[in-house]
Chain A
Amino acid sequence: MNIFRLTGDLSHLLAILILLWKIWKTRSCSGISGRSQILFATVYTARYLDLFTNFVSVYNSVMKIIFIAAAFATLYLIYVKFKATYDRNHDTFRIEFLLAPCALLALILNHEFTILEVLWTFSIYLESVAILPQLFLVSKTGEAETITSHYLFALGSYRALYLLNWIYRYYFEGFFDLIAIVAGIVQTVLYCDFFYLYITRVIKGRALKLPA
């Protein structure tokens, strides 16, 4: 464990908690893409199946349980509890165009052709594009609530911190996983546009409005 990975995980945890808090407090999931949340729940389910087979550490297991539980709790809030506030008309990104290619690529490009490894690879590829429906929703509505932009900033930062973690691990442990690194770069690059808007607008107290 290193500082980059720890702050990355905490940033990830913060993002998930901010999202739950926003929906619960405002009793509304407006501006939130349910489709992205479906993808995230899929990512965690596919990736954390080893939760019961190989124990890494208490921290690792606890975080996995929290991520899976929070993902499904968010889905419940969006599609059941506060369904009336779900922005169905704008949340239209075709996630099958993300799921199928990621599944295909995971079958072709992986470290080992075993169930757990292919599912892990699928979750890595899917996570790199899982935010697209959310970014698409923000671009369609042309704006995002400030709390939602904090959620996106924390979520985008987590994988950027993981990139630093991989650089650290490469130099100090000789460890690297090309699949995770390439997908992590793609994932972080997708946030760049949002990071720019967040830094130039939200930090200065102005609302996150996309230039029309």
Chain B
Amino acid sequence: KKQTIIKDEL
């Protein structure tokens, strides 16, 4: 399932 999570982690 496509997770359009913004990459806010390092």
Tell me how many residues of A have a C-beta within 8 Å of chain B: 19
- Cα of A63 to Cα of B10 in the assembled complex, Å: 8
Tell me, yes or no, whether A212 is within 8 Å of chain B by CB.
Answer: no
Q: B1-10 CB contact bits vs A (8 Å, 1 = yes)?
A: 0111111111
Tell me, yes or no, whether A180 is within 8 Å of chain B by CB.
Answer: yes
Tell me if A111 and B2 are in contact (CB < 8 A).
yes
**B4 → chain A closest CB, angstroms:** 8
Chain A residues positioned under 8 Å from B3 (CB to CB): 111-112, 177
Tell me if B10 and A120 are in contact (CB < 8 A).
no
Most-contacted residue by chain B among A56, A64, A120 (CB, 10 A)? A56
- Cα of A177 to Cα of B6 in the assembled complex, Å: 11
Tell me, yes or no, whether A143 is within 8 Å of chain B by CB.
Answer: no
